[in-house]
Chains A and B, each alone.
Chain A
Amino acid sequence: MCLSVATARSTSIRTGYLFVLPALLLLLAVLGFPALWSLGLSFRAEGRDGFSLEQYRLLLEDSLFHQTFWNTGLLVGLSVAAHLGLGLAVALPLNLPLRGQATLRLVALLPWVVPDVVAGIIWKWLYNPLNGALNDVLVRLGLLTTPLDWLGAGHLPLVSVILANVWRGFPFVMLILLAGLQAIPRERYEAASIDGANALQRFRHITLPGLRKMLVVSLALDTVWEVRRFGLIQAMTQGGPGNLTEVLSTLVYKQYFAFFRFEYASAIAVVMAAVLLIVSLPYIRMISQEE
């Protein structure tokens, strides 16, 4: 009796492994292997065999890498902050029982739905200094006296890329927060109202705590996606002009496919991967242990 329970359990463990195994092997082959290859490559000096920290030393000295790291930090930090702010600002009214609510929710999602490249190209054309719509609108509204060269020179190109990125990415956060809002039981608000809490107090003491998990989820996922963001920037500026809008992903791409510095490119990519894993580790633990 005891024996058969034990065998049943071990068969069931084996069956579990068997279900997971094909996907696991496939993933190790298509992803694990090249990832380790990149890692190994990053510890090689160019044209020499054997372990070397040469590439990482170069990274520390490379002012372009520093600039790019800073650009990426700025892009990610400002985009994610704006996504959370705008996402919450749009999710709150969309959670109210309004006429046209369903349509508005769909509309709000659109920028996030189209491919990265498409979003990038549309904004590149909006930003066009001569024929673009943005200058035209702003001049007509009297907000600008002379047209701006949005992707031209100085700090403006990076700001412009970030603004396009805000538009592109806020709907995702909005969607997650909306789901969070809908999960807060309405009774809590009613009880608070009866107790005489005003709107602001209800927001602070019911909405925000109720949204905590969703805020963490959207913060983690959005940060990861913004660090990896490639298509939008590649389509808009290719990191240019000069390296004014260079981010880590476009820099790695250039080091690989324009300069053929495979070892150096790998080192940058490994730094990126390390940052991403560290940022997402709390999220990964929270999700995979939650049962």
Chain B
Amino acid sequence: MPASDDRPERAGVRGGEGQRARAKERRVGPWLFRALVYGFLLVMAIYVLFPFAWMLSTALKTESEALAIPPTWIPRTPTLDSVIGIWVRKNFALYFFNSTVVSLATALLSVFFGSLAGYGFSRFRFPGRQFLMGFFLATQMLPGVLLVGPYFKMLNAVGLYDTRTGLVIAFLTICLPFATWTMKGFIDGVPVEMDEAALVDGCNRLSVFFRVILPVLGPAMVASILFAFLLAWGDLLWALCLTTSEGMITVTLGIARTVGEFRIIWPMLMAGSLLGGLPAILLYLFLQRFLVAGLTAGALKD
């Protein structure tokens, strides 16, 4: 077997034809072992997917069917009433808009400042560099509840309580350190020779960064933006503490509030969950390739 065939595949990459051919070459073991492995993975898949199937099934039921005892597994009279209802009778269109705007603004700001800092950390060796990198990492470990109280007071004092701007500022506390570390990781992967060549050509550092590094990092930067977006998208704590009026609510808060209502209409709630979960699932499909590198923020180096 040629040595090049033995390289381990990368995380999360879909298996192509070459891999399948190799799969035949490498024996997985006797058929009994294979059967056991597939059996185990089947159980895993059911365990993982069952709650989602239950969500989907309920979202397509009428309210009376959702309250049937014993529950039906497949909707007898599937209907899109709830899926449409959350847009029409509830304000989910507005929540969706709020979540998108707030998450996107946070993500863009975080990645802009984060990639500048990431470039600084990646390319320069200055006194206190490790301490500052440790500081950026440590801030990610702090619990959000440490900050929500002061934020409540601060935003009230400057008139930003219950505004999207206030939420963006708050989300920076999660997304900015995260973006700094992921961007540093990605920039580490760009050969320093590229900087040096551009410097010799007379570029200054800032134009090296904007004209050379950022263009090379295109896809990685999009990935960082999407990660930061999803961090903000998934939040409940901050939206719960810093917004109150119907016009400012995010999707996650909208869902949480619906649970708190006196009478829970489960098909609607499940339709809302579907709506809140779907963008995240779709974005992660796209992000697969970057998952490990992005999530562990520098923890995993080859």
Task: Please report A residues at the B interface, Cβ cutoff 8 Å.
Answer: 12-13, 15-20, 22-24, 26-27, 30-35, 37-38, 41, 89-90, 93-94, 96-99, 101-102, 104-111, 113-118, 121-126, 130-133, 136, 139, 167, 171-172, 175-176, 178-179, 182-187, 214, 217, 221, 224, 227-228, 230-231, 234-235, 248-249, 252-253, 256-257, 262, 265-266, 269-270, 272-273, 276-277, 279-280, 283-285, 287-290
> When the two chains form the complex, which single residue of B142, B233, B273, B298 contacts A287, counting CB atoms closer than 8 Å?
B298
Cα(A159)–Cα(B169), bound, Å: 36
Interface contact A288-B142, CB-CB below 8 Å: no
Residue of B nearest to A25 (CB): B113
B277 and A114: CB pair below 8 A?
yes
Checking B11, B49, B145, B172 against A175 with a beta-carbon cut-off of 8 angstroms, the contacting residue is B11
User: Which residues of the other chain, B, contact A248 by a CB distance below 8 angstroms?
Assistant: 143, 145
Interface contact A12-B124, CB-CB below 8 Å? yes
Interface 0/1 of B185-212, CB less than 8 Å to A? 0000000000000000000010001000
A34 near B71: Cβ-Cβ < 8 Å: no
CB neighbours (8 Å) of B301 from chain A are 290
Main secondary structure of the interface of A (DSSP, over half): helix
Chain A residues with CB under 8 A of B58: 125
- Are the CB atoms of A217 and B299 closer together than 8 Å? yes
- Smallest CB-CB separation from A139: which chain B residue? B70
Alpha-carbon separation in the docked complex, A96 to B26 (Å): 10
Chain B at the A interface: SS class: helix
**Chain B residues numbered 100-158 whose CB sits less than 8 Å from any CB in chain A:** 113-114, 116-117, 119-121, 123-127, 129-130, 132-134, 136-139, 141-152, 154
Q: Is the CB of A96 within 8 A of B116?
A: no
CA distance A188 to B259 in the complex (A): 53
Interface size class of B (residues with CB under 8 A): 35 or more
Contact B149 A183 (CB under 8 A): no
Beyond A19-B124, A131-B67, A186-B8, whether A38 also contacts B146 by CB under 8 A is yes
Q: Are A132 and B71 in contact (CB under 8 A)?
A: yes
A23 with B180: in contact, given A12-B124, A34-B151 (CB under 8 Å)?
A: yes
**Is A230 a contact partner of B51 (Cβ separation < 8 A)?**
no
Chain B interfacial positions (CB closer than 8 Å to A): 6, 8-15, 19-20, 22-23, 26, 28, 34, 37-38, 40-41, 44-45, 47-52, 54-55, 58, 66-71, 73, 113-114, 116-117, 119-121, 123-127, 129-130, 132-134, 136-139, 141-152, 154, 169-170, 172-173, 176-177, 180, 205, 209, 233-237, 240-241, 251-252, 255-256, 259, 266, 269-270, 273, 276-277, 280-281, 284-285, 288, 291-292, 295-302
Partner of A27, one of B40, B145, B176, B276: B176
Closest Cβ of chain A to B20, distance in Å, is 8
- The listed residue (A117, A179, A265) touching B256 by CB distance below 8 A is A117
User: B149 touching A115 by the CB < 8 A rule?
Assistant: no
In the bound complex, residues from chain A placing their C-beta under 8 Å from that of B69 are: 130-131
Shortest C-beta distance, B157 to chain A (Å), equals 12
Q: Contacts of B126 on A, CB cut-off 8 Å?
A: 13, 16-17
Residue ID in chain A nearest B174 by CB atoms:
A31
* A98–B284 CA distance with the chains assembled, in angstroms: 22
Contacts of A90 in B (CB 8 A): 41, 44
User: Which residues of the other chain, A, contact B288 by a CB distance below 8 angstroms?
Assistant: 106
Contact of B141 among A37, A117, A131, A284 (CB under 8 A): A284
6 extra interchain contacts, Cβ-Cβ under 8 A, other than A102-B15, A167-B48?
A: A31-B173, A41-B150, A97-B15, A185-B8, A269-B143, A284-B141
